[in-house]
Amino acid sequence: MDVLEVEKHKAYFQQVIDHFGHLDVLVNNAGRSQRAIWEEIELAVDKEMFNLNVFSVLSLSRIAVQHFMKQNEGHIVVTSSLAGVMAAPYSASYIGAKHAIHGYFDALRLEKMMHNITVTLLCPGPVFSNILADSFTGRPKEKFGKPMEITDRRMSTERCGHLCAVAIANKLDEAWMALPPIIFMVHFLICYPNVASLVTRFLGPKFFVKMRDTKVRMEIKSD
């Protein structure tokens, strides 16, 4: 299915119910990343990003929650990102979309905690996949087009998938996953926000780009 065709979501969902009789878990995993300079991003890109990474997820999840309310149990899983926990440079639309995901689904968790409905947010850091080449840029309908390299320091797809499965099986509220030192850095910066402000200013944006992408794959005009 094309998740952007939100007007068809109810029909697609009903096909699942007609075939299996019920639904236990909905895993939202569609999405795209981004590489772009903040002030050069056209508003149309922000809208495309939110349509895919936020609104399509909300549409399908709301249909699922209505079903879960009737059967008095269910599990919503959303693939977010460490970018939804802590911002990173040169991906502003993506960062905004992932933070929106956390806001929407943290609210859902609070609303439905007495209805046996679980919400799990999966937050991977850098992982090997094709997401980089397909990333948005600052212009509509354009792809970043630069693939990951085998020498990049990223978590393997298999390891990330295993950790996601563990988080889902144990019905965790939120799961962060990344190789060190990224996972340690995120914990430190989130737990000590006042210190984080000083640390991030000292290290600068290029440091965080290299942590995420191993190397700088786009032209950064200034720090």
Domain ranges within the chain, ordered by starting residue = 6-212
Active-site residue numbers?
94
Q: What is the pLDDT of residues 171-188, one digit of tens each?
A: 999 999 999 999 999 999
Tokens of 193: 């926000």
pLDDT at 223: 47
pLDDT at 219: 60
pLDDT at 18: 97
pLDDT at 211: 87
**Alpha carbon distance, N-terminus to C-terminus of the chain:** 41
Residue 126, C-beta contacts closer than 8 angstroms, at least 6 positions apart? 152, 153, 154, 155, 178, 179, 182, 211, 212, 213, 214
Q: Which fold has domain 6-212?
A: Rossmann fold (3.40.50)
Distance between CA 88 and CA 94 in Å, rounded?
A: 10
Distance between CA 114 and CA 9 in Å, rounded?
A: 26
Angle, helix 9-20 to helix 56-71, in steps of 10 degrees: 40
| Residue 65 contacts residue 119 (beta carbons within 8 Å) | no
Q: What is the pLDDT of residues 48-60, one digit of tens each?
A: 999 999 999 999 9
pLDDT at 169: 98
- Based on its alpha-carbon atoms, the radius of gyration of the chain, rounded to whole angstroms, reads 18
Residue 64, C-beta contacts closer than 8 angstroms, at least 6 positions apart? 13, 23, 26, 74, 76
Mean pLDDT (10-residue bins), the chain, 223 residues? 96 97 96 97 98 98 98 97 96 98 98 97 96 96 93 96 98 97 94 92 91 71 50
**Average pLDDT score, the chain:** 94
Residue 44 parent element (H or E): helix 43-50
